[in-house]
Structure 1
Amino acid sequence: MALRKRKSADGDAESRFTPKNAKNVLAVAKIIGPALIPVVAPHVLRGLGEVRDRYDRGRARRLGVPIEELARFSGRGGALHARISGAAAAITELRERQDATADDRTFADRGETTLRQLAAAVRAAERMPTARRKAAHKAASTELDQLEERLLNRLGV
């Protein structure tokens, strides 16, 4: 099906899409479309699956968690939950070190308590109105920043 060509002011041919041409394209699509669906659908579905996989892998990388655990960190507080989980793992590592002192163990106990409270606050904030949720997330993030800084100092990083 050829589109009508018309000369523009500078002498180049440009295509002109008319209502009649659009109607013809739709008529052809109605005839050919159903025959192409069984051929095209598997490729489209595979492509969509690949796009979703790449999106999930990128999101997991941004949160710093394995892709298998990505579902645990969903929702508006997902990034905070991921940070809390990472801090909890680091506190466990601090406690289990060979050269951990009694002071390190005390810090680890208080840190775990703080992390449990932060996790509960972030979960509760999920159902709050936007302004209150953002304020709660900001407060939790600030508290987590301070805890992570003290933890890194204790780990010698």
Structure 2
Amino acid sequence: MDKLNVICVDDQREVLSAVMQDLEPLYAFLSVEDCESADEVIDLMDELDAEGEHIAVVVSDHVMPGKTGVELLTEISKDGRYTHTRKILLTGQATHADTITAINTAGIDHYFEKPWKSDDILAVVRALVTEYVFDHGLDYRSYQLHLDPEVMLNRLKA
């Protein structure tokens, strides 16, 4: 079974801890990593990629020191190593223009406003990981018990 990773980034430790706690049910089959800056995310992604691991999803806050979440997700979307990596923007402070840029430039897959609902972020991350597994051509049977059944059924029908 290939190792799948989800990376969460937020400069506020309490928010980051809340996201990590919400994703805890996925720890059975995913490695969920936390970072406090965009630069830390890029370094971690380079390290994981060098080790042959998969970065299935990046969940990013928008307003952070240095690079914003939109800038980070745009940079990820332009890196050919991460063409299948799914991206979520999680913020309470993005403007309408920021959100449009995130969709058009960063190719985000989902947007959550703070505060979010735990069940919603868990379901979306599970669905996006399922899409990643299929889009990346991984053997879904290794993860079958943990993937989103509806997304998996739709992908198998196609």
Q: If the length of structure 1 is used for normalisation, what is the TM-score?
A: 0.25
Structure with the higher fraction of residues in strand conformation:
2
- Higher RCO, Cα 8 Å, sep 6+: 2
Structure with the higher fraction of residues in helix conformation:
1
Q: If the length of structure 2 is used for normalisation, what is the TM-score?
A: 0.25
